[in-house]
Amino acid sequence: MKQYLVILCLLVTLIACKDHAPLTHTKTHGLITQQAMVVSARKEASQIGSDILKKGGNAFDAMVATELALAVAYPYAGNIGGGGFMVYRLHTGETGALDYREKAPMAATKNMYLDSLGNVVPHKSTVGPMAVGVPGTIAGVFASHKKFGSLPIEDIIQPVIELAERGVVVTEMQEERLKYFQPYFQEVNPNGTVLTGNWKSKDTIKYAALAKTLKAVMIGGDDEFYKGETAKTLAKFIQEQGGIIIEEDLARYEAKWRKPITFEYDGLKITSMSPPSSGGICLAQIMKMIEPYDLDLFGHNSLKTIQVLAEAERRAYADRSHYLGDPDFVNIPQEDLISSEYLIERMGDFSFEQATASEDISHGKVDIIESNETTHYSIVDQFGNAIAVTTTLNSGFGSKLYCPELGFFLNNEMDDFSSKPGVPNVYGLIGAEANSILPEKRMLSSMTPTIVEKDGKLLMTLGTPGGSTIITSVLQTILNVHEFKMTMQEAVNAPRFHHQWLPDEIRMEPNRFEKGLIKQLESKGYEINEERSPVIGIVDGILIQEDGSLEGGADPRGDDTAIGF
Ligand code: GLY
């Protein structure tokens, strides 16, 4: 892991040098187009999505194409063996959300990751067949297409199949990643995976087995994946490896349309993901807590701005741990949690003089391991529809378990449940009873696909990977545009920080904040950690400019690319 972090640190230093120019002088813009745009983690996926729009498809057609193309071009997080969330805003102004999060298999039990003494068995929820949740991605893309799609599914999936057959060129970042993950692939898949080998940048990797699976799904629809030959092969494979997912788990899976979280902030209307993601509620809590403060006067990443944000984040994450879980299984006091009365009271003990101690907010003990192993894409179409989608295998390449016959990696999303109260997951997030394991329950997420409106019109669609740092990265990007008048690209590029209640520290991207500022924060009782997270979030967003044109913000922290017309 250390070597991987060193590479990330070097990349971050390069990014830091790139945008050290004062933001108030010459404006840095991302790609500007007049009609439509896709911003995603790989140029191949953005291109396929944009081509679908150009053919006359809408944002939902492009969603299917981009999602599946990411499964080919970005197997680190793009997937058909995982799940995700979509938030949308139609050109009419109607908003909604789609939940295609993985769920626990029917044979799952509350204590399935504990040994006979009640201790968590290391790696059981993160690596290999027992870590796998029932995948939701194929159900998600078909639900999106059935409800809103306009092009025939063959026209959408065929270009993705061709991409998988033609192959995808390895980037420099991918070369480092593949090198790092080889021992993990080997440990879980002694017979190899499509990514096993000494891959170098500029090599082309072909995904023949995945192309075959996508073809079967294109012909047989989501029923092929959940009830057909693909389902039989997948369930048999997982069981042979020692897992507990059976055919009936796949047959019973369904994506769910949800009512998103909607709230107001300083004249903006913000729509984000509802439970089983914590993203929307947590974002609403933080933004309602910071709303009374004049952040624009305090300045971007100034002492006071950082204090206000960190204190609001601390309080919101404490609530996240306690209250949130799958809304089909637990009662979430949603309205109370985002009510102004509650949140004003919650910030009542904040003072600019001295940091609040997290132990005075609530209880708990967590350790944190940062991760950027999810992926996000944003789409605006020529009809004025907008979507924000975040999708994941959880960790990089998920459970590392690869089904050779079907050609894809399987998630390790079961680790997003709370295996045992007080024991953190890979993101260091502590869970409570609300997020305990039950058969067919969906695990809590931090994914925060978000759409922002101003004066009744679409302003922005955005989101990011980053585990527990997703919510605070989305927050800072919105504030960068709204409060600090940055362009979309500047807002994405800007240095980020993060507080998540416990451990009681502000994480900062290394070497991107002035040493004097850090000293001032320390003198007020804040602990600063610049080592934990080489990058915080990889944000992809689209901003509608005043003249109606679109500006893409593709994060240089990854290979992310905006393409449109
Ligand atoms: N697996 C990361 C998340 O859902 O937040």
pLDDT for residue 318:
86
Distance 173 CA to ligand 1 centre (A): 22
422: left (phi over 0), alpha (psi -120 to 50) or beta: left
pLDDT class of 309 with cuts at 50, 70, 90 = very high
Of 278, 324, 394, 471, the one to substitute when testing ligand 1's pocket (max ligand atoms within 8 A of C-beta) is: 394
In the predicted model, is pLDDT for residue 366 greater than 70?
no
Minimum-distance ligand 1 atom for the alpha carbon of 468: 5
pLDDT beyond 90 at 421 = no
With 50 as the cut, is the pLDDT of residue 535 above it?
A: yes
What pLDDT score was predicted for residue 371? 54
236-273 tens-digit pLDDT: 999 999 999 999 999 999 999 999 999 999 999 999 99
Q: What is the mean pLDDT of the chain?
A: 92
pLDDT bucket at 359, cuts 50 / 70 / 90: confident
Mean pLDDT of 449-468: 97
Q: Is the dihedral of CA 461, 464, 467, 471 positive or negative?
A: negative
CA of 547 to the centre of ligand 1 (A): 36
Average of per-residue pLDDT across 156-178: 98
Q: For a substitution probing ligand 1, which of 445, 448, 468 has the most ligand atoms within 8 Å of its CB?
A: 445
| CB distance 282 to 320 below 8 Å | yes
Tell me, what's the pLDDT at 444?
A: 92
Q: What is the 3-state secondary structure (H, E, C) of 73-112?
A: HCCCCCCCCCEEEEEEECCCCCEEEEEECCECCCCCCCCC
Residues with CB under 6 A from ligand 1: 374, 392, 394, 416, 445-447, 467
Residue 11 banded pLDDT, cuts 50, 70, 90: very low
Nearest residue (by CA) to ligand 1, atom 4, is 445
The Cβ of residue 421 has, within 10 Å, a number of other Cβ atoms equal to 13
pLDDT digits (tens, 9 = 90+) for 13-30: 444 433 433 444 689 999
Burial of 351 (0-12, 13-18, 19+ CB in 10 A): exposed
What tens digit of pLDDT does each residue of 65-122 get?
999 999 999 999 999 999 999 999 999 999 999 999 999 999 999 999 999 998 989 9
| 174, 180, 184, 187: CA torsion to nearest 10 | 120
Question: What is the pLDDT at residue 368?
Answer: 35
Place of tokens 């807590």: 289
Q: Which residue's CA is minimally distant from atom 3 of ligand 1?
A: 445
Q: Please name every residue paired with 550 in a beta bridge, in sequence order, or none if there are none.
A: 33, 544
User: How close is the Cα of 446 to the center of ligand 1, in Å?
Assistant: 5
At CA 351, angle to CA 345 and CA 352, rounded to 5? 140
> Residue 100, CB half-sphere, CA atoms under 13 Å: how many?
30
DSSP string for 163-201: HHHH-EEPPHHHHHHHHHHHHHHHHH-TT--TT-S---T
CA atoms within 13 A on the CB side of 133: 34
pLDDT, tens digit, 9 for 90 and up, residues 482-532? 999 999 999 999 999 999 988 899 999 999 999 999 999 999 999 999 998
Distance 125 CA to ligand 1 centre (A): 14
Helix, strand, coil percentages, rounded to 5, for the chain: 40, 15, 45
Rounded distance from Cα 445 to ligand 1 centre (Å): 4
Catalytic residues: 374
Q: Which of 102, 409, 430, 446 for mutating ligand 1's site (highest number of atoms within 8 Å of CB)? A: 446
> What one-character-per-residue DSSP string does 150-163 give?
-S-HHHHHHHHHHH
> Is residue 475's pLDDT more than 90?
yes
In this prediction, residues 306-312 reach a mean pLDDT of 97
CB atoms within 10 A of CB 323: 20
Q: How far is CA 497 from CA 90, 358, 468, 475, 528, in A?
A: 32, 17, 12, 11, 10
Helix, coil or strand: residue 247: helix
pLDDT at 50: 98
Token duo for residue 166: 């033609």
